Amino acid sequence: MDQATKDQLQIFLEAELARLEDEVATIEREGHEALSEASGENNYRDHMADQGTATFARELDMTLEENSREALAAVRHALGRMEAGDYHICERCGAEIGDERLRAMPTATLCITCKAAEESR
């Protein structure tokens, strides 16, 4: 991998890191606010459909939070690999991960051959 490509990917990953950290912080803040609202006493009985909608919304929020946290962990891992000097090396077989793959998926840890084998299981 040439230095220009590595620099571009590092800039992208650092921007993505900042974006995801903000996103997770916002989710946490809004989640705590929603939780405090949901735990309050309700003087009116909610209709079953309203309860179902609220449950669905909470589950959706939890899924989005989990996805954001996983993406954040992947970006941190990629930046750590970049710092260690093995960003472009497959974690499974040790082959080089192609520049095209890293441009398309900057958090990739497997070469295309190992990823295809993983997905075919």
Find the domain containing 88 and state its range.
3-38+47-119
Burial class (CB in 10 A: 0-12, 13-18, 19+), 50: exposed
Tokens for 106, please give them.
């900057």
- Residue numbers in the chain where pLDDT is lower than 50: 36, 39-41, 43
- Quote the number of domains for the chain: 1
Alpha-helical regions (H) of the chain? 3-38, 48-84, 99-104, 112-119
Look at residue 48 in the predicted model and tell me its pLDDT. 72
Give the three-state DSSP class for 105. coil
As a whole number of angstroms, the distance between CA 115 and CA 95 comes to 12
Quote the pLDDT of residue 43: 45
pTM over 0.85: no
pLDDT at 93: 97
Domain CATH for 11: 1.20.120.910
- Three-state DSSP at 77 gives helix
Per the CB < 8 A criterion, the answer to whether 91 and 78 are in contact is no
> So what's the pLDDT on residue 33?
56
CB 65 within 8 A of CB 24: yes
Q: How high is the pLDDT of residue 37?
A: 54
